[in-house]
Structure 1
Amino acid sequence: MHDLQCESLSKRFGAYTAVNSVSFNVPRGSFFSILGPSGCGKTTLMRMIAGFEEPTSGDIRIKGQSVLSTPPNKRPVKMVFQHLALFPMMNIGENIAYGLRCRGENKADITRKVAQVLDRVGLPGTEQKQVSQLSGGQKQRIAIARCMVLEPDVLLLDEPLGALDLKLRERMKIELKQLQHQFETTFLYITHDQSEALLMSDNVAVMNAGQFEQIGSPQELYNDPKTGFVAGFVGDSNRWPGRALSVADGKVRVALDGGGEAIATAGDDRIAAGSTVELFVRPEVLSVGPGAENRLEGTVESLLFNGASSRILVRAQGGNLIEVGQAVMDGTNRVQPGARVDIGWSHGHGRCFSVSR
């Protein structure tokens, strides 16, 4: 069963197409994210689902029923905005009760429902507190509680962590996922931050220039990207231009523009001998030392310490800059700037995509 279905959804503003024939289904009770750079159309897409923008074409169905003719306040969806839009002149209980009062519910039911939802978001007994007394994370939970007290079929979240500092944002990723499981409500989340999408989501749609490049689980997008855009946007990758020398059995032999050759898995079926390609290799799959199927020689330029995300930067002989992951900075594999090293990887850890020039 699907709580949300979008079919061939498009939105044009004059000659500009913001969303171009997008189709997807969101399973009931799942956490679905739309990931893409600024300007790719993801906010326009969400605004159409919420009813704030009218689609140029296509259909939006919630639990099987089209909502195209349903005004925003009557749709079974609620939206959490980046800046939360809490009412500063109201206390927490009044903020959460606002939608219930607009719906005409009686005072006793409102009091009961506000207390219940506050308990579920971990802030029981805070009805009389002022919004100004809340921390950033507490404000996030109140904004979600204000929506969830109305029992929507789908909760829309428009980059709600964007205004938080880094440490609080990291903690709220986990809290949002826990809240989604607790309420068992379908979450549709949009973000330009890949770590948010990968950590919280059951499925992610990667959006670029008004279209979806790929929909899949975080693991599928990371380990099996279907386009060069997805390979470059989801996770960190070394990205080297080159030319395909030969293609056979799903493998591509590539002459790198900066010098050297490599064998990689073909990422699409448009690659032919002589075509322009890009090779993607993630830093964590690279090893230091001889014996690998693919090998580039270089000089260590610098060590970039960032805990588990630490890197070393190696300048290959042909000029390409290589980022190598954390493992090579530990124990006997530790290297220093200026050292000559061999960087290696297997063909299965490299993905090659065709490039139109």
Structure 2
Amino acid sequence: MPSDLACQDVSKRFGRFLAVDGVSFSVPGGSFFSILGPSGCGKTTLMRMIAGFEDPSGGDIRIDGRSVVDTPPNRRNVKMVFQHLALFPMMNVGENIAYGLRCRGMGREEIRRRVAAVLDRIGLPGVAEKQVHQLSGGQKQRIAIARCMVLEPDVLLLDEPLGALDLKLRERMKIELKLLQHQFNTTFLYITHDQSEALVMSDRVAVMNHGRFEQIGTPQDLYHAPATAFVAGFVGDTNRWDAAVVRTEGDRIAFATTSGDAMLGRWAEPSRHPAVGDRIAVFVRPEAIEVRRGAAGTVDGGEVNRLSGTVESILFNGAASRLLVRTAAGHIVEADLPQSGAAAGIAQGETVEVAWPAERARCFLAGAAAP
């Protein structure tokens, strides 16, 4: 059975600096859990405590319900894949994978059998005699994982392992890592600052900021229902307006942006309630915005925000394009442009209307939002 992992109120201080601030979460056995956050938010420190390389200043770390806080790294059945993989260049592929088994005193024939079996499982049979420098970047990645998985760890920790790969290989490896995790049915804990990695591969994601978790949820939860301004700004592409509350009616908010536009939105923080005059941050996804030729018209039913602007730039990205529209107030609005329909063929310099339902404008009290 795959192993559960749980952290309970884990913290870490370096002198007066609080790197990890009372973090609690649990990872069901056999799932893929990611910690997503900007550089310096504390995610690597948290992973090092789980691995045993750092001692927590407080809290508990449990694997299958047993505390491992007082267990040294070499006695925890936890393995780690680093960004630079740390393969031994003086050993061939088979020797790299066999290293941990030899350290455990396993017999030669059993080692040979296990190395061959794990190479089959990662789709690289017959490469045991190759030298590390003969492998592609993706092959090295899989060998680094195989070196860990041959030891049958309870938990595999992955510290930004795709960071050194080029973009095309990184995209392919995201899919391969997810498939490998399913194949080995092992608990994966993955840390990254790259939202696309976390959203594509993970069953659940924790968004970390300044040593704390802002939100834990499925990738869909984080994208469609962010709990804080930071998560709304950090996960996925988004438009942001700074504004002040003009009127509240339940979770419906009327507000005025700092650029002078009057808009409507939906309140997204049920634990806090805004008052007239409160400063808020408003987020709208580019795919929620409809673009039409011509200046903003009248509302044709429902609560819809409409602005006029000029197409300042068109960013082509293969299957989709994105318009950058500068409104009369000088604000840049990003909107996804469909490849067919009335908006297709809009050109730079045209006057357009951008519109979106009030329901799609998510409002938060102004605070530490992601840039």
For 1:264 and 1:76, the matched residues in 2 are separated by: 49
Q: Which blocks of at least 5 consecutive residues in structure 2 are unaligned? A: none
Query: Aligned partners of 1:216 and 1:135: how far apart in 2?
Result: 34
Whole-angstrom distance in 1 between the partners of 2:274 and 2:102: 60
Q: TM-score, normalised by structure 2?
A: 0.94
Which residue matches 2:232?
A: 231
1:349 aligns with 2:350: no
CA deviation after TM superposition for structure 1 residue 308, in Å:
3.4
Q: 1:271 corresponds to which letter in structure 2?
A: P
CA distance in 2, matches of 1:314, 1:330: 19
How far apart are the structure 1 equivalents of 2:128 and 2:281? 56
Letter in 2 for 1:118: L
TM-score if structure 1 supplies the norm length? 0.97
Q: Per-residue deviation at 1:267?
A: 1.4
Q: Which structure 2 residues correspond to residues 42-57 of structure 1 after superposition, within 5 A?
A: 42-57=43-58
CA distance in 1, matches of 2:319, 2:201: 20
CA distance in 2: counterparts of 1:42 and 1:356, whole angstroms:
21
In structure 2, distance between residues paired with 1:271 and 1:288:
30
CA contact (8 A) 2:3 2:186 kept: no
Deviations 1:232-275 (A, max 9, x none): 00000001101011111211111011121111110112421110
How much does 1:326 deviate? Answer: 2.9
Match of 1:190 in 2: 191
Distance 1:6 1:104 in 2: 32
Shift of 1:309: 4.7
Provide the residue aligned with 2:281 in structure 1.
Answer: 278
Q: Percent identity?
A: 64
Match of residue 140 from structure 1: 141
Equivalent in the alignment of 1:167: 168
Structure 1's 338 and 86: CA in aligned 2 closer, same or farther, altered over 3 A?
same
The two structures, once aligned, show a CA RMSD in angstroms of 1.3
Distance change (3 Å), C-alpha of 1:132 and 1:2 = closer
> What is the count of residue pairs matched by the alignment?
356
Q: Verify the 8 A CA contact 1:308 1:326 in the aligned structure 2.
A: no
Describe the SS at the equivalent of 1:305: strand
Deviation of 1:109 (Å): 0.8
Match in the other structure for 2:59: 58
Point out the more displaced range, 103-112 or 282-291. 282-291
Matched residues in 2 for 1:138 and 1:98: separation?
Answer: 18
Does 1:97 pair with 2:98?
yes
Q: Which AA in structure 1 matches 2:357?
A: S
CA offsets, 1:327-354, max 9 Å, x none? Answer: 2x54431311221111100111110110
The CA deviation at 1:310 is 2.2
In 2, are the aligned partners of 1:2 and 1:25 still within 8 Å (CA)? no
- Correspondence 1:315 to 2:316: no
Matched, 1:332 2:342: yes
Residue 2 of structure 1 and its aligned partner are, at CA, apart by 6.2
